[in-house]
Amino acid sequence: MAAGKTEVMTTTALRPAPSANLDSVSDSPPGLYPRLWQLVPRELGFLLLGVPTAVVGFAVTIPLFALGIGTLITFFIGLVSLIAALYVSRWFGTVELVRLEWAGRPAIVRPEWRPVRAAPGFLGWVKRMLGNGHYWLYLLHTTIVNFVVSLVTWVVALVWVVVGLGGISYWFWGRFPANDTDGWYLSRSIFWFFGIPSDGVDFEAWDSVCYFIAGIILLATLPFITHALTLVHQGIAAGMLGAFRSDALKHEVASLNESRGAAIAAEGHSLRRLERDIHDGPQQRLVRMQMDLSAADRQVEVDPGKARALIAEAMEQSRDALDELRALSRGFAPPILMDRGLVAALESAAMRSTVPARVVNQLPAGVELEQDVERNAYFVASEAMANAAKHADAAEVEVRVGVLAKGLDGNSLLEVVVTDNGRGGATELSGHGLAGLAERLRGLGGTLDIQSPQGGPTVVGARLPLTASVSSP
C-alpha cells in the first residue's frame, strides 16, 4: 500500500493587547436611566396594545370554552369546542411571549407541547391535549389573568402618559376652558395645606407651574413605571407560559435513553463488524495455515522439499494474519494513541493513507484529553479518511482538530473535521460506516454533521463533549 504525504500544521489564536490610549469612558455602556429610556417606546407600545390583544383573546376563548363545557355531554361538539379553546389560548399565549420579546425582555423557554412518550391514534391525541397542563395554564392566562393584568397595566400606563403630557402643556391649553374665579385651583389647595398666605395670588399662573412640575415628575419616572409594568407581565408569563423544570428533566431522561440505545446499537454494530472482519481476514488465513501445516506434516518423510514449501506458505499466511490483526487493533486503539495522544495518532493514520493527507492541529497548547474521547475521535477521523480513500476518489484529505465552547454555558467540545475534495454524495445509509459513526457519537452525547453535495467536497464534522475540563500544565 502506497503511503500518502502528510503535513502537520499548528495554529495558535493571538489576542491583541489592549492599547493604553483607549478611552474607556467612551466605550462604556450607558447608565441605567438612559437604558430605561431606550426601552420606553417598545414597553409603552407593549402595554398599550395589551388591552386590545387581551380583549380579543377573552372574547374568542370564553365562548369556545363555555360551549365546550355546556355541550360536553354530546361528546363530539363539546370535545371539539374545548380543544379549540385550548388551541386558541395557546396561540394567544404564544403571542404574549412574542410581544414580550419585542418589548426587549429575554425569551422565555417554550413548553414541550408533545410529550416524550405519546400514545398514537386519535385517543392518544385527545389524551395528550387534555392531559397537558400547559394548555390549561394558557387557557387560564388568556381568559382571566392576562385580561385583568393587561387592563390594570394599560390604565396605569395610559394615565401616567396622559397626565404627564397634559401637565407640562397645561400652561397652553389651560387658558382656553372657561374657569370661574371662585372655582377650585390646585395651587390654592397647596397654599392652604402649607399655611401660605394667598391674598392677591394669581392662582391660574400658579396652577400652570404646579401642573408643569407634576408633568415633569410623571414623565421623568415614566421609564421606571413602564419597565415595572412590563416586568409584571414577564413574571406572570414566566410562571404560566414557560416550560416546567420537569419538562427539561423529562427531555434529559429521554435524551439519555436515546443515547444509551444509540451506544448499544453502535457497540453491536462494531462487534458485528469486527466479527465479520476477523472471519473474512485472519480467520481464513489461520485456517489456510493449519491446512498447509497438516499437509507439510504428511509430506515431511515422503517429500521434504514439498513440505518445506508448504511450511513457507504457512509462514507467509501467519505474517499476513498478524498484519491484519494489527490493522484491526489499530482501528480501535493503536498504541501510539495511548502513548503520544490524538494528534500523533492522526498523523500516523495520515501517513498510512493512500491519498495525500494533512493534519491541522488547533488544540490549545498543553491540552489534555480523556482517553475515551481521544479513542472515539481517532476512530471517527480514521473511518472518514478510509471512506475518502475508498469511495470518494479524493486527491487530498484534511483533518482538522480543535476545541470549541458550547453556547453560553462554557461546556467544551472536541471538534474533528475531515474534508476531502472527492466526488461527494456521501449519505448515512443504515448499516454502513457513516451511520455507524453517527450512532457511536450519539451514544456519547456527540453529533455528526455531514455535508457532501454532488461533485464535492465532503465535510464530515464530529463534535464530542468533554466530560472533564480541558486542562493545561
Q: Would you call 212 helix, strand, or coil by DSSP?
A: helix
Decide if 411 contacts 421 (C-beta within 8 A): no
Q: Within 13 Å, how many C-alpha atoms sit on residue 370's CB side?
A: 12
Helices (H), ranges, 241-370 = 245-280, 282-299, 304-332, 335-340, 342-352
Closest CA to 208 of 176, 229, 186: 186
Q: Return the SS3 of 417.
A: strand
Check residues 82 and 9 and name the one with the higher pLDDT: 82
Sorted by where each begins, the domain ranges of the chain are 30-243, 281-332, 336-465
Most confidently predicted of 183-197, 267-281, 338-352, 422-436: 338-352
Average pLDDT over every residue of 421-447: 70
Element (H, E) at 85: helix 76-102
Contact 241, 97 (CB under 8 A): yes
Q: Over the Cα atoms of the chain, what is R_g?
A: 38
Angle 280-383-403 from CA coordinates, rounded to 5°: 155
Please tell me the distance from the alpha carbon of residue 191 to that of residue 211, in angstroms, as a whole number: 14
Region class of 393: left (phi > 0), else alpha (psi between -120 and 50), else beta = left
Close Cβ partners of 169 (under 8 Å, ≥ 6 residues apart): 215
Q: Using the predicted structure, report yes or no on whether residue 455 has a pLDDT greater than 60.
A: yes
CA angle 89/91/95 to nearest 5° reads 115
Nearest alpha-carbon partner for 86 in 127, 148, 142: 142
In whole angstroms, how far apart are CA 297 and each of 56, 305, 306, 315, 318?
97, 12, 10, 14, 17
How much is the pLDDT for 2? 41
Please determine, for residue 259, whether its predicted confidence score (pLDDT) is greater than 60: no
Environment class of residue 3 by beta-carbon count within 10 Å: exposed (0-12), middle (13-18) or buried (19+)?
Answer: exposed
What is the C-alpha to C-alpha distance for residues 142 and 89, in angstroms, rounded to an integer?
6
User: Which of 176-180, 427-431, 445-449 tops mean pLDDT?
Assistant: 445-449
The correct answer on CATH 3.40.1160.10 for the domain covering 336-465 is: no
CA distances from 70 to 64, 67, 141, 313 (A): 10, 5, 21, 91
Cβ–Cβ under 8 Å, residues 227 and 43: yes
Give residue 92's pLDDT.
94
pLDDT of 17 > 50? The answer is no
Please state, in angstroms and rounded to a whole number, the distance separating the CA atoms of residues 231 and 199: 48
Reported as a pLDDT band with limits 50, 70 and 90, residue 150 is very high
Reading the block at residue 459, the C-alpha cell is 465535510
Give the pLDDT confidence of 27-50 residue by residue, as tens digits. Answer: 455 688 888 889 899 999 999 999
Structure confidence by residue, pLDDT tens digits, 294-308:
887 777 777 878 878
Q: State whether residue 368 is helix, strand or coil.
A: strand
Grid cell locating 327:
490493522
Q: How many CB atoms lie within 10 A of CB 327?
A: 14
Task: Reply yes or no on whether the pLDDT at 138 is more than 50.
Answer: yes
**pLDDT for 312:** 82
Distance CA 271, CA 14 (A): 44
Q: Provide the Cα torsion 405, 407, 413, 419; round to 10°.
A: -90
Predicted confidence (pLDDT) per residue in 376-431, tens digit:
888 888 888 888 877 777 888 899 998 886 644 456 888 899 988 888 877 665 55
Of 321, 314, 245, which Cα lies nearest the Cα of 283? 321
Q: Which tens digit of pLDDT belongs to each residue from 185-200? A: 666 676 666 666 666 6
- Among 3-12, 157-166, 351-360, 437-446, the range scoring the smallest mean pLDDT is 3-12
Q: Which residues pair with 56 in a beta bridge?
A: none
Answer whether 457's CB lies under 8 Å from 420's CB: yes
Among 12-21, 90-99, 318-327, the range scoring the smallest mean pLDDT is: 12-21
**CB 330, CB 386: distance < 8 Å:** no
What are the E-state strand segments in 363-428?
Answer: 397-406, 411-420
* Among the ranges given (125-129, 139-143, 344-348), the one the predictor scored with the smallest mean pLDDT: 125-129
pLDDT at 365: 79
Which has more pLDDT, 335 or 356? 356
Q: Which residue has the higher pLDDT, 320 or 91?
A: 91
Instruction: Find all residues with CB under 8 Å of 79, minimum gap 6, and list them.
Output: 68, 72, 126
If you average pLDDT over every residue of the chain, what do you get? 76
Element containing residue 102 per DSSP (H, E): helix 76-102
The span from the CA of 258 to the CA of 263, in Å, is 8
Which pTM value belongs to this model? 0.51
Nearest to 244 by CA among 383, 325, 137, 362: 137
What's the half-sphere exposure (Cβ side, CA atoms, 13 Å) at 171? 10
Q: Do residues 67 and 74 make contact, with C-beta atoms less than 8 angstroms apart?
A: no
% of the chain with per-residue pLDDT over 70? 67
Mean pLDDT check: name the lowest of 26-30, 56-60, 371-375, 393-397.
Answer: 26-30
CA distance 329 to 324: 9
Cell numbers at residue 119, please? 400514545
Interval 328-347 mean pLDDT: 74
User: What is the share, in percent, of the chain residues with pLDDT greater than 90?
Assistant: 19
Q: Write down the pLDDT at residue 19.
A: 43
The pLDDT of residue 293 is 80
Give the pLDDT confidence of 82-124 residue by residue, as tens digits.
888 999 999 999 999 999 999 989 998 888 776 545 555 566 6
Cell 393587561, residue?
A: 150
pLDDT of residue 339: 77
Hunting for cell 501467519 — which residue is that? Answer: 318
